[in-house]
Each structure stands twice: as structure tokens, then as C-alpha cells.
Amino acid sequence: MLKTERKGNWLEMIIPVKWTGKTLEEIFRTEWKAPKKLTHSYRMEGKVLVNGDTANWNKALQPNEKLLIRLFEEEEVSGTPMFREVEILFEDDHCLVVNKPPFINTHPNNLEKDTNTLINAILYYMQAKGQLVNIHQIHRLDKDTSGAILFAKHALAGAILDRKLENREIKRTYIAMVHGILKKKKGLIQEPIGRDRHHPTRRRVSQSGQDAVTHYECIKEDMQKQVSYVKCWLETGRTHQIRVHLSYLGHPLVGDVLYGGKPSIKRQALHAAKLTFDHPITEERIICHAPFIDEQPIFKDIDIYLT
């Protein structure tokens, strides 16, 4: 875990031993894999200091030197803040993890017309704290899916987390309730997913689609209702991935009428129960569990802390 401290608009970071001899250019490009345009802006705008002086980006750094980066600045916020209660699972100066309720979009498709989304609620929450920043969404959840979702509070954290997501270093664990009793209680679904040409929003398993990998494990069965509770974790993040893959197995999600489920509940029974990632700045391992929040409980007697 790296030693850091916020000082006003600046983040102070103590150079660790493992960075001995590396230049700032190498840290931004190799360690953090920050985009060239972002790195260039920090460099040209003098937003990085070493021991209080303007940084030499090509000079080797030494342990215990103080690196200062101007990460925290007010921004012109894109979107309309709208009040709605939000459940915070984790928050610091760099990241925010929220327990998303069902029946709400994560982000607006139209900044002026769509104001009742999770992003709008977070903007209100942030402004109420005096933080005028644009939130960067790292991954997404479907409108009717609930659970943990990760956001970044500034551009550098967003860039690092985007890269971690691309490299499959952010682990997302879901709980689904599906129709039927699974014959194989644990397995791997590795089938490509593409668009369904006959439906505007539906996806399907297609050999011409994108690679998609879902791990699953049955954690509970209800023989009377003929449903199973399944833990899933993803290596990829394709649209509707869990819904498509479990339907492909012959076990569609309860409530997921788009993929063959029966409408016995008001939404597809899918909840992002756990989110695990290494912090983009401090490298601390962050583990967030998201409590079930349906007013009429869907997932009964399931312990999210065992996921």
C-alpha cells in the first residue's frame, strides 16, 4: 500500500522503494498506463511537483521523495444533479462504490432530458458535500440489475481503473435466481455473445460475437419452487452477459422475460453482490459487499459475505 495524503488540491505521495530509478514518464506510462493526452496535460500544465519543485519528468526518482500531483479541481459538471438517496459502500478522494437500486438507469442517455439516473443522484450527493466534479463510470449495470457499481472521482483514477477493468483485474460477483435445478452445480460458460438481428436490444450466443466468459456456482436450491440461486463472476463484461449465458444453459433468470424467464417478479433476479479491486492510487485491496435492497425480498436467506 502506497503512502499518500491529500493536501488541498494536491495529492502527496511518498515514492516507494519499488519505484527507485523510475522516471515520472515511466510511472505515468508504465505503472499507471495513463493515456498520452492525460499525461501530456499534467506535464504541460505543471500539475506535478517533486519535493516542492517543478518536476523533471526524465529524472530518476528516489525512495521517500515527495511527489505532488494536482488531482483535485472543481469542474463544470455535466448533467443535472437530482436528489435521490444513495447507499455508499466505499468512498475516498479517488473512488466511489454505490449500491445501485433496481429500476433506475446508471447514466443518462440524454444529459438534458434524462435526470432520474444514478449518475444524477451521485452528482447531487457530491455537490451537497461541496465537491463539483464529474464522476467517471467504470462499469455498468442494467436498469433492472441492483448492486455494487464503481466510479472514479478524477481523470487519473478513472484511467487507471479503466485499464484494470480491461485487464480483468476488477472482480465482480453476482447472485442470480434462475429457473430450474442445475445438473452441473459449478462450471464455466465460454460462449461468444453478439447482437440478435431480430431484436433491437437482445443479445444471443453467436460464433461471430465477442468472447464472453462466465463462471458460475449453485449456492442454494428451492425444490418446491424449482429455482436455483447461482453465484456468477465474470472475466468479460459483455452486455447482458449473465442473462444470455444462463439462458443458453436452459436456466433463464426469474423475471427476465427478454431471455425466457417467467414474470413472477418485477425484474430479472440479478444482484451485483461483491466488488473487489486494487485501489488505483494507494494499491490497497478494496472489497465491497452490497446488501440486497429489494423492498419485496427476492434473494432470501443468502449471505452476501460468503460470496
Same fold, 4-70 and 172-272: no
Q: What is the pTM of this model?
A: 0.94
Task: Spell out the domain ranges in the chain.
Answer: 4-70, 172-272
The number of residues making up the chain comes to 307
Check 142, 144, 162, 256 and give the catalytic one: 142
CATH topology of domain 172-272: Pseudouridine synthase (3.30.2350)
Q: What is the pLDDT of residue 223?
A: 96
Q: Percent of the chain scored above 70 by pLDDT?
A: 100
3-state secondary structure 204-232: EECCCCECCEEEEEEEEEECCCCEEEEEE
Q: What is the pLDDT of residue 114?
A: 79
Q: How far is CA 157 from CA 23, 35, 96, 222, in A?
A: 20, 12, 11, 43
Q: How far apart are CA 68 and CA 10, in angstroms?
A: 6
Superfamily of domain 4-70: RNA-binding S4 domain (3.10.290.10)
Closest to 133 measured CA to CA, from 145, 142, 144, 124:
124
User: What is the mean pLDDT of the segment spanning 18-26?
Assistant: 96
User: What is the mean pLDDT of the segment spanning 263-289?
Assistant: 97
User: What is the mean pLDDT of the segment spanning 156-164?
Assistant: 96
| 181 within 8 A of 228, measured Cβ to Cβ | yes
Residues 169-194 pLDDT 10s: 999 999 999 999 999 999 999 999 99
Q: What is the pLDDT of residue 83?
A: 95
Name the grid cell of 39.
Answer: 499525461
Of 104-113, 161-170, 286-295, the range with the lowest mean pLDDT is 104-113
Q: Is the pLDDT of residue 142 over 90?
A: yes
Q: How far apart are CA 128 and CA 132, in angstroms?
A: 9
Q: Would residue 162 show up in a list of annotated catalytic residues for this protein?
A: no
State the Cα angle at 120 between 150 and 104, rounded to 5°.
Answer: 75
Helix boundaries (H) for the chain: 24-26, 36-44, 118-128, 155-166, 241-248
Residues 203-249 pLDDT 10s: 999 999 999 999 999 999 999 999 999 999 999 989 999 999 999 99
Q: How far is CA 262 from CA 16, 177, 265, 266, 305, in A?
A: 55, 12, 8, 10, 28
